[in-house]
Amino acid sequence: MGFLSKVRRLPPVDRRLLFRATLLLLATRVGLACIPFRLVRRVLSPTPSQAQHLSTTPACSVERIRWAVHAAGRRVLQDRSCLVQALVAHRLLVIGGHPAQLRIGVAKDAQGGLEAHAWVECREKIVIGEGELSRYTPLSTMAGESR
């Protein structure tokens, strides 16, 4: 069964979530290539009017958001950028009313250089960016408050 056939068989709410994740992944990838991180981060932060509108919209579960970001990421990100996926997952979680933290950390690689990684936590569980997180020293935590 092809990808489009699978997408057509999804419930409408999952199709919309997958479409939103795909667009956000593409826009975030392009944004990070063209403008500074802080501006991309600001664009991805929900505005008060978005939060108010979304408070009346049924939220997707954390598991479905994780699925959508992973599924879309496999299709549109050739290098599976943890930062792009973490930024998108964080936005979708926050606008969905979930408490989420975007974390960015660094570690030394085998040659003594720096290696960076981004991940998202929600209710003390890793949503995106799982792996050997204990080796990374967090540089930044960006909390998202559900509104």
Band the pLDDT of 146: cuts 50, 70, 90. Answer: very low
pLDDT of 79 over the 50 cut? yes
Non-local (6+) Cβ contacts of 89 within 8 A are 65, 66, 69, 100, 120, 127, 128
Band (pLDDT 50/70/90 cuts) for residue 10 is confident
Full-model pTM: 0.83
Residue tagged 């799982």 (tokens): 130
Q: What is the pLDDT of residues 110-128, one digit of tens each?
A: 888 999 999 999 999 999 9
How confident is the model at residue 6, as a pLDDT?
76
Q: Rounded to whole angstroms, how far apart are CA atoms 59 and 17?
A: 10
pLDDT at residue 85 tops 50:
yes
Do 59 and 98 form a contact (C-beta atoms < 8 A)? Answer: yes
- Confidence (pLDDT) at 8: 74
Distances (CA, A) of 56 to 22, 52, 86, 97: 23, 7, 25, 10
The yes-or-no verdict on residue 50 having pLDDT over 70 is no
* Token output for 103: 């974390």
For residue 124, what are the contacts with CB-CB under 8 A and spacing of at least 6?
A: none
What value, to the nearest 5°, has the Cα angle with vertex 40 and ends 124 and 97?
40
pLDDT computed for residue 87 by the predictor: 95
Does the pLDDT of residue 52 top 60, yes or no? no
Find tokens 């290098």 and name the residue. Answer: 79
How would residue 147 be classed by pLDDT, with cut points 50, 70 and 90?
A: very low
Q: How confident is the model at residue 34 (pLDDT cuts 50, 70, 90)?
A: very high
